[in-house]
Structure 1
Amino acid sequence: MRWGAFLRKIFAEHVWLLSGAGLLGCAGAIALSGNSAIAQNSIIPDTTLGSETSSVVSLDESFGIPIDVINGGAIRGVNLFHSFQEFNVAALRGVYFLNPDNAIQNILARVTGNNRSEILGTLGILNAPGITSRANVFLMNPNGIIFGPNAQLDISGSFVATTANAIAFPDGAEFSVNSGAAPQNQLLRVNPSAFLFNQVAAQGSNSIENKGILAVPNGRSLLLVGGRVAPTATSTGQILVDGGKLNVFGGRIEIGGLTAPGMVGLTVDGNSLRLSYPAGVARADISFVKGAFVNVAGAGGGDIAINANNLNILEYSILSSGLNLNQGSPGSRAGDILINATGVVTIADDSTVNNTGLRNSIGDAGDIKIVARSLNMTNGAQIQSSIFGGQGNAGNISIQVEGSVSLSGIGADTNPSGRRNPSAIISNVVSANLPIQAPPFFGIPISGNSGSIDIQGRWLSLADGSSISTTSLLGGKSGDIRVEAFDSISMTAAAGISATTFSDENAENVSIVTKSLNLNENAIIATNTFGRGNAANITIDTQQLLVRNGGAVSATSSRIGSSDNVGRGGNIIVNASDSIEVDGVGNITGFFTETSTRNRAGDLTLNTRTLTLRNGGVISSGASRRGSLGGNGGNLTVNASELVEVNGSGSNSTELRTEAYGIGNAGDLIINTRRLQVIGNGVVSTSTYGQGNAGNIFVHNSDIVEIDSGVISSAIQPGAVGNAGDIEVNTKNLFLTNGALIDTRTFSRGNAGTIKINASNTVSLDRNAGVVSALELEAEGKAGDIELSTRNLSLTNGASIDIRTLGKGNAGTVNINVRDTLYANNGNIRTDSRQSSGGAIAINAKDMRLFGDSDISTFVFSGAGGGGNITLTADSIIAFNDSDILAFASDGRGGDITFQTPAFFGDRYEPASPGTNPFNLDGNNRVDINASGRLADGSITLPDVSFLQNSLTELPQTPIDTNALIANSCIARNSGKQENTFTITGSGGLPNRPGDASISSYSTGDVRDVQGDSASRSWHKGDPIVEPSGVYRLPSGKLILSRECS
């Protein structure tokens, strides 16, 4: 039997205690009993209330029970005041305030001595017979209040324990521990309005400490209001709940205090009490340790408010609100948990802050709000707002800190639940593993939305499997996740931020805002849908984003079991004003939108200045490889104002891709950048592996595209049915080298796509690089076309522009438009077909220069298909070093070869005879043009270049006799009349024809014959050197070098 019930029975049987000869009239009995009680409970009234002094009656000597009853005191309106020199309740004893009047709403007890109060037993209220009021109890001792392991409350109203030095009332009245007089009648007749901390005590280490079980009736309030109680003035006292429990089902628990002079406001509404704290005044530290439990869960309502400097929730401690098992009703809502700390909030060691609706509850869970300088969660700590098998919505979680939020650590295997949970640490640069989550529970019919999570701070760090997540089942939707960290977010060691829905409702969005975001070691930001609702979108706004070593950003649509009626995957949008870097470091790393259902994957859009992928990093949008039912892949768009680098150096393929499985189509891949680099094993691709088409690839707005050993590809993979996508590259300059490829291919049934290259300045293919459209072996379909337009085109060192069909299908056509020069040195342009019609080649260039065995060819190796036509249009075409132009068909008609040029020169060119095997023409060190075919040869149309051939007759062994060009004497002019002159200009230093001397640009005059019998002498050493001054024409027409006679 509880003490209160027992005492009520005693008082009912011994009503004399309330008569004139009882408690109110037997001073001697009170004194005697009081002395005995003081020895046991150490309750000593002081004399400050004068004639209204409190008195203590012990019932243990009279009735054999360890009970003390406090009587007397000063009644002022709704308030009953008591004042004590010492106030302590011994273990296994009870102390009860007597309530003599129904008008009493508040019983206020102060301690004016210098010692703290120790409540080791039961503290309660005893109503006199006929009294039904439910008074609140205020216990004030500025020296500190300790509740021991066996401490408990037996009151029907609310309870306040405070270390304030005064309780204030409206209009300025105070009930102070320093007051030596009785309180004024008029000013103290209403409810108190504030706690005054005007003095700072210097005793003890904890202002309020609880190791017991303190509880008040449902819907009431329990307040612990502490202050500084410390050995020195520089350290802060704290409120400590050391393994104790505070229970107010559906009521309010509020804990806080000040460690500097100030006033804490108080609002009293019947049995509902609420505090308000001043800004800018130092607060007390608060700690919950050793399994401390603060619980306000009930059928609805139930608030917890913590106002602290530093708050520590450690060693399996719990702050809990929500709806209890089988409780609540439609429209019910649990109360909120509010934590307001000016310092650091630390939650650790499997401790929990939760606001939950338990199984079969009806109503919504409340919110959780934390405001602090920083938040640290570690070793299995959890913040949770959830519905576990009930009907209702989970509450929202809001975390606002000035500094850091850090999550890390795994809970201990000594956790009372037997589970090792991930946990969280929050401080400047520390990390933690915290499930901050708002999920309805698996397996039980429920309906409702999960709440939103809002985290704001300067830094956020998550590690060791820590997670921030929202989850919804059946009829609800997952809430928003909004994370804003002004400086940085670091996620590592399998940490995660996720939003998941299993219901028909669309999930809300995940939003990340920070200057720097780092995902490392399998950390993930993810949204998922397993129900009919669409997955949440992910939006990231940052300056720098680094994803490495298994890190990922993912939005998926997945199915469970045989269900295929699943919603759309979410979109991913990343806005990184500076850079995005994806570094695989050996693990699958990157950005992914995918679907394994009949619905489509979300789109993936990256907006940044520079995007870098390396070491196996992947950016992908598509249908999942895991049992896809045919949903379409999403589009992938990259907008990088400066650079996109796909660097596959090393053994791992680095990929920028879209893909599709099942019966869906892959999405398009769009790159807008000033510079695109695809290096090493880098791949930019669209593919289909099922019954669908590969997406198109578009590269726009670039100054330069460089592909070094990398690939840009659209393909139909083996076993698939569909068409490869088109590839379109728009740039100023395109450079491919070291086996680099731009290709469209089909390995199964379907057509290869068209390749369109528009390069306003240069296209350069070097070292076995290629632009290829292919129908591979055993494939069925058509190879695509290649269209290329540029100012200058260069193919060197085995590079090629190539269309081929090794399976059943026709080759596509090659159309090349070069505004200036096409230069090839061991480079090829060709279309090949194994058993169908050959593709045509049409090249339009200002000048074509073919060197080093560079071929332009169309081949059909078998079948009746004709060889492709070749049309070359240029101002001039020059071919050297075994560069051939061939249009061949093994079983059909050879293709036509047409030269539309005024000038063609082929090194050692000789027309091949009809029927010549073109394979015998390669390696013969001359230029060949051949259009052979088994059914018929194609036509060859060459320009008339005889004028050029006539001017290129072979030169003699000694084309010029230099001795005959120099006269041995000067040239004398005839004194007769001046003859006509003949001037040659514009020779550029070349003679008109072999054998002619160079002609001076100066005029020649009349000359006289050199006398044949003139004595001449050969030049000897020492003779002067006389240089000729011009070219002179003799009367015979011969030109010689000489000078005029002086």
Structure 2
Amino acid sequence: MSYKTKIKIFCILFYICGFPTLATAQIVPDATLPINSTVTPNGNTFTIEGGTEKGTNLFHSFREFSIPTGGTAFFNNINTIQNIFTRVIGGSISNIDGILKANGNANLFILNPNGIIFGHNASLNIGGSFLATTANSINFADGSSFSAINPQTTPLLTISIPTSLQFGQNPGQIVNESVGLEVLPGQTLALVGGDVMIPGGILTASGGRIELGSVGDNSLVSLTMLDQGLTLGYAGVQNFQNIELSQGASVNASGEGGGTIQVVGGEIILTDNSGIISETLGSKDGGTVSIQAVNFIAEGGSDVDTATYGSGRGGNLSVTATESIELSGSNSDDPDDLGGFFAQVKKVEDGQTTLVIGNAGDLTIATGRLILRDGAQVVSNTSSHGSGGRLTVTASESIEVFGTTANGEFPSGLGTQAQPGSSGNAQDLIISTRQLIVRDGGDISASTEGEGSAGNILIQASEQLIIQDRSAISALSVNNRPGGNITIETGRLIAQNGGQVLATTQGSGKAGTLTVNARESIELSGTSIIDGAPSGLFTQSAGGATDSNAGNANNLTVTTRQLRVRDGAAISADTFADGNGGSLNVNASDSIEVTGTSGILSVGVSPLQRPDGRLPSRLTATTEGSGNAGNVTINTGSLTVQDGATVAVDATNKVDNTESTGSAGNLLVNADDIRLDNGIITAETFDGDRGNIDLNASNFILMRNNSNITVTATNNAIGGNIKIDTRALAAGTNSDITANAKNNRAGRVEIIAPEGIFGIQSRREGTPISKPTSDITATSLGGPELDGDVLLNTPNIDPTQGIFQLPDTIASPDKVAQICPNQRRPKEDNTFTRTGRGLPADPGETLTTGAANVGLANAVTPVEQRARTNTPPLTVRPTPRFLAAQGWAVNRKGEIIFTANPTTVSPYNPVISTPNCNVE
């Protein structure tokens, strides 16, 4: 019990104990009606007769109305009465700790503005519905009212139906401690007042309707009579008060068809494993459970649950809180005590026959902020033949899912599930918010572990999505049915410290697709400190108990402006069995940076660990089994791979180093520029079909510090090809481009670089790593006859062709005329200044400046091949020799022209005109 609840109950008990007449509990009529009520006590039984009848309505009025422990208040009405209206006009609280009884199917209304307490022994023995309220009056369709505040002004009583409850200032509280406050199936049980508290009490309306309402000053609550029961409306209410269920309290409308429950208040609190439940037990469809609050809190394993155990559909569950919803789990390790919101298809066994074929209802949450912690869950699932319901969560500000139960077994989470042994389908999970945070082991999932299909996940986080600390967003299939698709739309996506988004199959069903659209950026970084799992985005075929007949992974598509993958994080489409991997498509309009490695991890954390125990950051499509890897396609402005990071298509078994017969996919990069600084772009095959690399960089490709672009066939595979199309390629410090094979034919390297290839040369064999040279190879260890081709398409001229050494000195300034021929001015008035820079003394030398020094490579033969080809010889036109200018002149347009011979200046017809020279 919360501190607030204890204070409220203490105040009520203090009030009761302060007035002994209330403790003895009497029923005392007044004299305000045309025909007054009479009370005949007989032991603890109080028979109530008289009152004023109007048609099928019966009106009673009392100064005090309380029932002692074990007592009975018996309304001895005739059977034609449909509604009994009872008001309490004195200033006392009604303390009911006994039985309320009426004849026939009459509905019973009790009206006491001061407050009503139902003790532990309170119960109902009536045929109709029951409403207890602390309103001031009940209003009727003809405009009349039955008031507990102004009884003397009561007009002629009406035969009309009631239409609303009018509250005054400071509405009294309603407290229910009873475990037996119950109406007959199909009827309504309603408590409407100021604060409504249920410490350990139980309200039951099997297949009927339960109404809990807590309203503020001067509220008007509408009331609608149904064929069976009644319903309340709060459209005109501006202020609400609080409702609290504690000490295992229960509000239960389960029945042949689950009943309807409406709970409306300001702050609604469930604690101590309390619950609101409506379960369908038979063939009738369930009703809706609706909760409307400003703030909703459920803690200590408390839950709100709709379910079906029969052929009828389970009821919908809707929770709306204008400000916040906070759910927290319990300290128990029992999965039934997790706490949260649940819409379920349950499983009931009758011998070998499963009886449950009804579908679950939908689960809808709308709030400003949603918090799930310590193992609390919001789940729609099926355990039987029926399908689960759709789960829709909308939070205008934020959703935060974090933590697990105390033993770490059950995460906090949002999910749709088809559980083991079920044949029904799970449904979709839709999340819409400004900011979504999943951390500390939290989970968002759509899964199937039965024979049905999984649902899809759609996440719209307009500002950002953060996943961290071994948390996950996942779509999982472990059977022969397809897994769900994951679609994420956000401004920024951040995954760190083992946070993952993954679409996986562990059975023969195909995994779902993973599509991520991040308007601004995606940043993936680090690994989990718990188990070393990398942060990232993944589609996987993981196999099952046996890896035969494993389902295929599906495609992974990423679209953003900037993508950063660092410190061991990854984006990968993988297969670890005989299922095929999916393709990886990455589109980043601005840039992609794949940087670094993880810290040193425990051995065996990942098959992709390097010998030093680190996990490289990577963009990959891999197969570790007999399935084929998918393709990798990258479109970006600038691609940077550095500090040990990798971009790869891979068909080698790094799990147990056994033979992998899967084929590698193809790797295609379209970018403005590609920069590798101790980075790797690779396609590797063990025994399957080759993978190829195609790099298109409209500006340049720069390789340095042991970077590699490689296609490798390590066993009997045929080597793949490398094609590079760029304006210029520069490599340095032992950076290689290789298309090698072990036992079969090597691949081909084709480079188109119209502005040149610098710092790297074609060789049959690469130079030792101890020598800082950069090599282009297409070599087979099976012998030269299995070598591949190296095709280099570069400029057709030697950049040093036609250039000769310039003189180190220029003509003496003394030999240059100092004045115009027709003038005589002092010699010292004119000067000739030699300034500037930009040409080396020798054309074969480079300038020495503060900029980066890039040495000229030896001229590369325009086309070099080691394999026989039919390429015709190139025709090189002779280039004229360049000479240093010896003279200059100015033409009629005022343009300066350099001449090969010295210029003779005539004093009579000068070419140059200055203010100091006369032009005739």
Please show how residues 495-506 of structure 1 align to structure 2 within 5 Å.
Answer: 495-502=412-419, 503-506=422-425
Judge conservation of contact 2:736–2:776 (CA < 8 Å) in 1.
Answer: no
Report the equivalent of 1:675: 591
**1:987 equivalent in alignment to 2:884:** yes
The structural deviation recorded for 1:189 is: 3.0
Report the equivalent of 1:795: 731
**1:689 equivalent in alignment to 2:689:** no
Report the equivalent of 2:601: none
The structural deviation recorded for 1:783 is: 0.7
Report the equivalent of 1:300: none
TM-superposition CA deviations, 1:515-556 (whole Å, max 9, x none): 111111221211112234332111111121111111111112
TM-superposition CA deviations, 1:764-818 (whole Å, max 9, x none): 1111111111112xx1121111111111111111111111112x21001111111
SS in 1 for 2:142: helix
Judge conservation of contact 2:46–2:74 (CA < 8 Å) in 1.
Answer: yes
Please show how residues 493-642 of structure 1 align to structure 2 within 5 Å.
Answer: 493=403, 494-502=411-419, 503-542=422-461, 543-559=463-479, 566-576=480-490, 578-584=491-497, 587=498, 589-608=499-518, 609-616=520-527, 617-627=535-545, 628=547, 629-640=549-560, 642=561
Judge conservation of contact 2:210–2:260 (CA < 8 Å) in 1.
Answer: no
AA at the equivalent of 2:675: F
The structural deviation recorded for 1:241 is: 3.0
Judge conservation of contact 1:595–1:631 (CA < 8 Å) in 2.
Answer: yes
Report the equivalent of 2:181: 214
Report the equivalent of 2:902: 1002
TM-superposition CA deviations, 1:712-757 (whole Å, max 9, x none): 111111321132111111111111112x1111111x3123211111
The structural deviation recorded for 1:82 is: 3.0
Judge conservation of contact 2:671–2:698 (CA < 8 Å) in 1.
Answer: yes
The structural deviation recorded for 1:828 is: 4.0
TM-superposition CA deviations, 1:997-1025 (whole Å, max 9, x none): xx9942589xxxxxxxxxxxxxxxxxxxx
How far apart, CA to CA, are the structure 1 residues paired with 2:626 and 2:594? 29
How far apart, CA to CA, are the structure 1 residues paired with 2:493 and 2:466? 6
How far apart, CA to CA, are the structure 2 residues paired with 1:148 and 1:862? 92
The structural deviation recorded for 1:155 is: 3.0
SS in 2 for 1:373: strand
How far apart, CA to CA, are the structure 1 residues paired with 2:267 and 2:792? 78
SS in 1 for 2:70: coil
Q: 1:819 to 1:544 in 2, by over 3 A?
A: same
Report the equivalent of 2:830: none
Report the equivalent of 1:465: 375
The structural deviation recorded for 1:134 is: 3.3
The structural deviation recorded for 1:631 is: 1.6
**1:261 equivalent in alignment to 2:218:** yes
What runs of 5+ residues in structure 1 fail to find an aligned partner?
1-36, 61-65, 128-132, 227-236, 284-308, 424-433, 560-565, 834-850, 881-904, 908-924, 952-984, 991-998, 1006-1046
How far apart, CA to CA, are the structure 1 residues paired with 2:386 and 2:652? 40
**1:44 equivalent in alignment to 2:33:** no
How far apart, CA to CA, are the structure 1 residues paired with 2:323 and 2:670? 47
TM-superposition CA deviations, 1:211-254 (whole Å, max 9, x none): 4633333333333333xxxxxxxxxx423334333333333333
Report the equivalent of 1:383: 304
The structural deviation recorded for 1:573 is: 1.1
Q: 1:336 to 1:114 in 2, by over 3 A?
A: closer
Judge conservation of contact 2:119–2:178 (CA < 8 Å) in 1.
Answer: yes
**1:55 equivalent in alignment to 2:55:** no
How far apart, CA to CA, are the structure 1 residues paired with 2:228 and 2:668? 75
Q: 1:613 to 1:1004 in 2, by over 3 A?
A: same
How far apart, CA to CA, are the structure 2 residues paired with 1:783 and 1:699? 22
**1:146 equivalent in alignment to 2:57:** no
Judge conservation of contact 1:795–1:828 (CA < 8 Å) in 2.
Answer: no
Report the equivalent of 1:976: none
AA at the equivalent of 2:724: L
* Equivalent in 654, 670, 680 of residue 741 of structure 1: 680
AA at the equivalent of 1:175: F
Report the equivalent of 2:612: none
TM-superposition CA deviations, 1:117-157 (whole Å, max 9, x none): 333333323x6xxxxx4333333333333333333333333
Q: Give me the CA root mean square deviation.
A: 4.0
AA at the equivalent of 1:657: S
How far apart, CA to CA, are the structure 1 residues paired with 2:860 and 2:140? 112
**1:334 equivalent in alignment to 2:294:** no
The structural deviation recorded for 1:763 is: 0.9
**1:346 equivalent in alignment to 2:269:** yes
Judge conservation of contact 2:762–2:775 (CA < 8 Å) in 1.
Answer: yes
How far apart, CA to CA, are the structure 2 residues paired with 1:318 and 1:691? 55
**1:355 equivalent in alignment to 2:278:** yes
My pick for the range that moved more, 167-176 or 394-403, is: 167-176
The structural deviation recorded for 1:762 is: 0.4
Q: 1:671 to 1:158 in 2, by over 3 A?
A: closer
SS in 1 for 2:217: coil
Would you say how many aligned residue pairs link Structure 1 and Structure 2? 769
The structural deviation recorded for 1:635 is: 0.9
Report the equivalent of 1:365: 286
* Equivalent in 203, 214, 229 of residue 272 of structure 1: 229
Q: 1:530 to 1:407 in 2, by over 3 A?
A: same
**1:727 equivalent in alignment to 2:667:** yes
AA at the equivalent of 2:138: I
AA at the equivalent of 1:195: L
SS in 2 for 1:171: coil
Q: 1:766 to 1:557 in 2, by over 3 A?
A: same
How far apart, CA to CA, are the structure 1 residues paired with 2:779 and 2:198? 89
The structural deviation recorded for 1:76 is: 2.8
The structural deviation recorded for 1:449 is: 2.1
AA at the equivalent of 1:508: Q
Judge conservation of contact 2:741–2:780 (CA < 8 Å) in 1.
Answer: no
AA at the equivalent of 1:188: T
How far apart, CA to CA, are the structure 2 residues paired with 1:937 and 1:59? 119
The structural deviation recorded for 1:700 is: 1.7
How far apart, CA to CA, are the structure 1 residues paired with 2:427 and 2:206? 32
SS in 2 for 1:865: helix
Give the structure-2-normalised TM-score: 0.76
Report the equivalent of 2:206: 249
How far apart, CA to CA, are the structure 1 residues paired with 2:776 and 2:235? 87
SS in 2 for 1:364: coil
Report the equivalent of 2:86: 109
TM-superposition CA deviations, 1:453-504 (whole Å, max 9, x none): 2111111111212221121234222221111111111111132111112555
* Equivalent in 694, 703, 709 of residue 644 of structure 2: 709
What runs of 5+ residues in structure 2 fail to find an aligned partner?
1-20, 404-410, 528-534, 597-615, 654-658, 802-842, 846-856, 888-898, 906-920
How far apart, CA to CA, are the structure 2 residues paired with 1:670 and 1:274? 54
SS in 1 for 2:31: coil
How far apart, CA to CA, are the structure 1 residues paired with 2:660 and 2:365? 46
* Equivalent in 132, 144, 157 of residue 161 of structure 1: 132
The structural deviation recorded for 1:645 is: 1.4
**1:71 equivalent in alignment to 2:52:** no
AA at the equivalent of 2:81: I
Please show how residues 914-933 of structure 1 align to structure 2 within 5 Å.
Answer: none
Give the structure-1-normalised TM-score: 0.67
AA at the equivalent of 1:162: T
How far apart, CA to CA, are the structure 1 residues paired with 2:867 and 2:394? 75
Q: 1:1003 to 1:737 in 2, by over 3 A?
A: same
How far apart, CA to CA, are the structure 1 residues paired with 2:869 and 2:232? 100
How far apart, CA to CA, are the structure 1 residues paired with 2:869 and 2:124? 109
The structural deviation recorded for 1:866 is: 6.0
Judge conservation of contact 1:794–1:823 (CA < 8 Å) in 2.
Answer: yes
Structure with bigger RCO (C-alpha 8 Å, 6+ apart): 2
How far apart, CA to CA, are the structure 1 residues paired with 2:48 and 2:637? 89
Q: 1:733 to 1:138 in 2, by over 3 A?
A: closer
Q: 1:692 to 1:112 in 2, by over 3 A?
A: closer
